[in-house]
A and B are shown apart, each in its own frame.
Chain A
Amino acid sequence: MTDTAGQASLRTRIAVGAICTALFVLLGSAVFSISETDLGLAPSVAERQAESGVKNVVTAVLLNFRGYDTLLEIAVLMLATIGVLSLRKESAGIWASLEPAADPVLSSMTRLLVPLMILTSGYLLWAGEHAPGGAFQAGAVLGSAGVLLALSGYARPGWVTRVALRVAIAVGFIAFLVIALAPMLSGGALLEYPEGLEKPLMIVIETWLTFSIAVILISLFISSATPEMQERER
């Protein structure tokens, strides 16, 4: 199937191209055939939004109506991170092997930016209740603050131990899972928030999710950035 250059042969490429074109026609017509008057699930969400405990519809869907998806999503994130950490060749500490900062402009710029990013992340987390925002946006901003710190040469502080890092990766999933399972003890269903407690519980979940997602994103980035490939070349 591949020639000496490792490229697929012309015949394979034409065949695959034809199949993909046919698939495009099929997918395109499927998408166009969705009725213009079909409103999807928007009316059902609008109807029952008052029960969700939050004012932002996307947050209501993410953490209440489709909370199961979000629970599994944070599980996927955690598993992927465990996978990435396990695949590293050497168990060199995360965040330890990056170049130290030589550039004073870069490091002082980072000092200015990181507090602002933490503030923005906190705002996004708070805004998620009533406006676009929430745990994933807040976690992404917090995570990029950490990536920026690492790239500018700030070493991992001593109190962030290997164990602490792994606990931080798992704590979002664990917090969500505990809150999801708790109602089952009193005969309720999975993810059935007790009445009146929807909002505080969702805020607890979102806060831990933000923290975990940030640490997960930092770990994913840093463990991909360790200079193993250069070591092989030497």
Chain B
Amino acid sequence: MPVLSQTDLYAAAGALLFCVGLYGLVVRPHLLHKVLALNIISSGVFLVLVGIARRVPGDVPDPVPHAMVLTGIVVTVSSTAFGLALVKRIYTETGAVTLSEAGDPGE
């Protein structure tokens, strides 16, 4: 057996994507970057789930993680759209693309 199986590689890449996305979510002030970072985080979660589903021997992967990913993709699409709508509304109301600190009237 190889030291790092294909499944492990996918799962590790998923964990890496999750952390990269989390870093971006915290560090980047631009709201559009935050929405993108959330997308990267969910891609990481999906990659871990798809990787884990492949552990089952045989041709057919575990269907439960697959169904979860299918559900997750749709939820991500709708939450991204909702996030973008919020960003747009914040921009039209305040002209800012970042969330202002308390007491600070936007940038």
Contact = CB atoms under 8 A, between A and B. Distances in A.
Interface in A76-113: 76-77, 80-81, 83-84, 87-89
Closest 7 CB pairs of A and B: A80-B78, A57-B63, A220-B81, A27-B15, A61-B67, A31-B11, A24-B19
A8 B34 CA distance: 13
Interface in B1-52: 8, 11-12, 14-16, 18-20, 22-23, 26-30, 48, 51-52
Interface residues of B, number: 52
Interface of A: 1-2, 6-8, 12-13, 16-17, 20-21, 23-24, 27-28, 31-32, 34, 36, 38-42, 45, 57-58, 60-62, 65-66, 69-70, 73, 76-77, 80-81, 83-84, 87-89, 134, 136, 213, 216-217, 220-221, 223-224, 228-229, 232
A79 B35 CA distance: 18
B48 A62 contact: no
Contacts of B74: 73, 77, 136, 213
Contacts of B19: 20-21, 23-24, 27
Nearest to A43: B56
Interface of B: 8, 11-12, 14-16, 18-20, 22-23, 26-30, 48, 51-53, 55-56, 60-68, 70-71, 73-75, 77-79, 81-82, 84-86, 88-89, 91-92, 95, 98, 101, 107
